[in-house]
A and B are shown apart, each in its own frame.
Chain A
Amino acid sequence: MTGDLAAVGGIALHGLGGAKDLPISPELAIAGAVAALVLSFTVLAVAWREPRFRGEAGGRPAPAWLDRLASSPALVLGLRVLGMALFLYVGFAAVFGKNSLVNPFLGVFYVWVWVGLVPMSLLFGPFWKAISPARTINAVFARLSGGDPEEGLYTWPARLGYWPAALGLFAFVWLELVYPNSTELGSVRLWCAAYLGVMLVGGSLFGNRFYEHADPFEVYSTLVGKLSVFGQRDEPDGTRRLVLRSPMANLDTVEVRPGLVAVVAVLFGSTAFDSFKDSSPWIRFVQSSEVSSTLLDNLALLAFCTGVGLVFAVASMATGVHTGMLRSSLPDTFAHSIIPIIVGYIVAHYLTYLVEYGQTTLIQLSDPLSRGDDWLGTADLSVNYWLSLHPTFLANTKVLGVVVGHVLGVVAAHDRAVRLLPARHQLTGQLPLLLAMVGFTTGGLYLLFAA
């Protein structure tokens, strides 16, 4: 097994990509933490007392040409074809390509899809929904059988909410961060096959509602897409129109469903764990321990995700509420405020990875069978390492990402608090959540400094 791996360049310990980012300087980490703390209390003290964000009602209608373009069959079909073409091309590399780190399947899966869906969704809204191969295949099946892809055999049980997506996201981060064979072609291919199988069965049982709740990539992408300027609104005439909103107003339209807090806890906790697992103290501990390192990593990933979820749930419930309001509904109601924090973390942890390994993937994509082909004409490009060569700029960008994400999260939570909480609890009721967020942010900065 070992010799076989070495022969094809498989590297079990390490994920994709070469050198990792340098840790940020302690000064920068402290500056970021202090800024987060000061800005948080500034928001609490001086920000509006009446809710400003109005959910679906917010925003203004997009210009007619933009609305027509967004719903034009050509664009919708074009994106489906693009997603399907990439899926088939990469699927070909996954099935017929070599078990090697230069197989573009790995880069497309781990970098283009997983990390790339964040900027694409930030820019364009629910991007994965538009290109999702599972949705496309489901739509083709429905058309062939004369059915409607929106409708399945059963209605999606509302109480399941986003829980299946949280489970799917955990399955992904487990594969990426814990599973020792995360860069073995066969393992990743098996994961993807299982994903696609579940998606197609789910889609035929519950229709497209299934993807909105259970496709980990779609749920992630749609949540991040709420920070874009594009949203939709039901008009009085029964149509659904494209509206433009500020990202914060758009974020307020996140649909609160059971399991939302679990989704954000997995996304946030796993990103923090990714930083933690490469830190020297953790590696030294794991390697000196008698317990299997995979077991320790599993436990740590689970601890990070559940820890984030529990801290957030407890902090959001530690407030007085109106009589008749269920305190247990608060974690999901406030969970949207974690989304900007997640995006800030993603910038901090995966920016170099996306930019540099993303380019490497484009180069590898020209040679899906790893035999020296140049099918797309990109094989001779070279990677621009400008970002890695400017570590100070990179470190500042990362800290800025974390702090801006934090402030937007605090603002989102504040607005929801002044809308939902009784007037006398609005200030004190926000404090535990604010402290939890400050804790997340300083913890994240500490990891950037110590990793």
Chain B
Amino acid sequence: MGFWQRLHRGWGHVHVVTQEPSHMRITSVLVTLVLALGAAGCADEAGTPEGAATGTTGPTETTSESPSPTEGPGGAGQTIEITVAGDTVSPSGERVEVPLGEEVVLEVTADAPGELHVHSTPEQELAYEAGTTSFPLTFDQPGVVEVESHDLGLTIVQLEVR
């Protein structure tokens, strides 16, 4: 929202500094740029649920044993349905946003036993049977986590944890 105004102010500075010697001008412009980026960053900071993450000392993925899919409000991002049939997977490389620190359930429906690789930090390997298996996961560290079928060599879904 305030972004364009900030940029505009940045432009203003560029015009002002053109009176100085050349290398000074470039330095000033760089300083202005750093300030503008910093301001953009501060604005984003408020929207990032960092407080939730900074409390943890390291990555701790909790994989609870009870396979009970929870249908959260809005559906998307809460339960991700994964189908593995023959040598195809669904979804196939899509990006899904997952809230930091909240539970997400991977519900795997497969025609044969196999294994999912969850490239969180640290990595997790989830073995499933033929039929439907649910894996509740919680991610405490922001980042993009790829979920892959190792047996098929396919990326199923990318979880954008933020």
Contact = CB atoms under 8 A, between A and B. Distances in A.
Interface in B37-53: 37-38, 40-41, 44-45, 48, 50, 53
A11 B123 contact: yes
A400 to B, nearest CB: 6
Interface string B9-41: 011001000100011011001100110111011
Contacts of B122: 18
B121 to A, nearest CB: 3
B120 A19 contact: yes
A389 B142 contact: yes
Contact of B94 (A11, A25, A180, A280): A280
Contacts of A283: 92-93, 155, 158
Contacts of A390: 50, 54
B145 interface: yes
Given A32-B37, A389-B54, A411-B26, A23 B10 contact: no
Given A19-B119, A19-B141, A283-B155, A42 B29 contact: yes
Contacts of B26: 39, 42-43, 46-47, 407, 411
Nearest to B145: A19
Nearest to A21: B143
A137 B41 CA distance: 49
Contacts of A101: 123
Interface in A19-57: 19-23, 25, 27-28, 31-32, 34-35, 38-39, 42-43, 45-48
A6 B125 contact: yes
Interface in B47-63: 48, 50, 53-54, 56-59
A5 interface: yes
B84 interface: no
Given A287-B155, A389-B50, A400 B141 contact: no
B150 A20 contact: no
B90 to A, nearest CB: 11
Interface of A: 2, 5-6, 9, 11-14, 17-23, 25, 27-28, 31-32, 34-35, 38-39, 42-43, 45-48, 101, 180, 278, 280, 283-284, 286-288, 293, 356, 382-383, 385, 388-393, 395-396, 399-400, 403-404, 407, 411
24 contacts: A2-B150, A12-B150, A13-B155, A18-B120, A18-B143, A18-B145, A19-B119, A19-B141, A20-B145, A27-B44, A31-B36, A35-B37, A46-B18, A47-B22, A283-B92, A283-B155, A388-B143, A389-B50, A391-B48, A391-B142, A391-B143, A392-B48, A396-B41, A399-B37
